[in-house]
Amino acid sequence: MPGIYKIEINQEQQKRLQKVTEFLKTENVNFPLNLNLYLHSIITEHIAHLKEELWQTAIIDNRILYVIRLIEKELDKNPSNDDLAGHINMATNSFIRLFQNEMHSSPQHYIKQQKIDRACLWLLHSDLKIDTIAWSLGFSDRYHFSKVFKKVVSKSPADYRKGSMVI
């Protein structure tokens, strides 16, 4: 299953990572080649040691990847399953079945979740009004957006924004 995995690092890798971390704490805008190489070596070493079953989870049908990219680019649209299936020249029922198998979610549930995820980011990292967020994500109005948001997040958008503010 895709996700975040804890990977142990040795002392040498820890030193390289510490150098990168220290540099990132500075205000320097130029990223030196040696730090880039440190990061590259750490990433390469860990990718090489990933278990084979983790690689298998990263294989997603290209048609579904295309649909996911389309959804991400046009999150404000509300495509039907018929529309999505049409983009990849599939019958709707076959598309829904393939999407469910690949993503472990129905296409419409996936779209709703992506909209709510984006809304959470905007609520935390922007001053956009809730009405604007709702409209930008293709919801018909603030009321409908708030209802869907609360069902998924268990908080209203306003409460989510207030509860996430650092004082």
- Listed as own residue / partner, the contacts of 127-132 with beta carbons closer than 8 Å and 24 or more positions apart are 130/157, 130/158, 130/161
Residues 122 and 155: beta-carbon distance below 8 Å: no
State the pLDDT at residue 143.
96
pLDDT score of 32: 75
pLDDT reported for residue 149: 96
pLDDT at 165: 52
The pair of three-digit structure tokens given for residue 65, joined into one six-digit string: 């990847």
Residues of the chain with pLDDT under 70: 1-6, 28-29, 49-58, 164-167
User: DSSP code of 164?
Assistant: T
- pLDDT reported for residue 58: 61
Report the distance separating Cα 149 and Cα 167, nearest Å.
24
What pLDDT, on the 0 to 100 scale, is given for residue 167?
Answer: 38
DSSP string, 73-91: HTTTS---HHHHHHHTT--
- Quick one: which H or E segment has residue 109? helix 107-125
Q: What pLDDT sits at residue 138?
A: 94
Q: Mention every residue, 6+ apart, whose C-beta is less than 8 A from residue 75.
A: 111, 114, 115, 118, 137, 138
Q: What is the CA radius of gyration of the chain?
A: 21
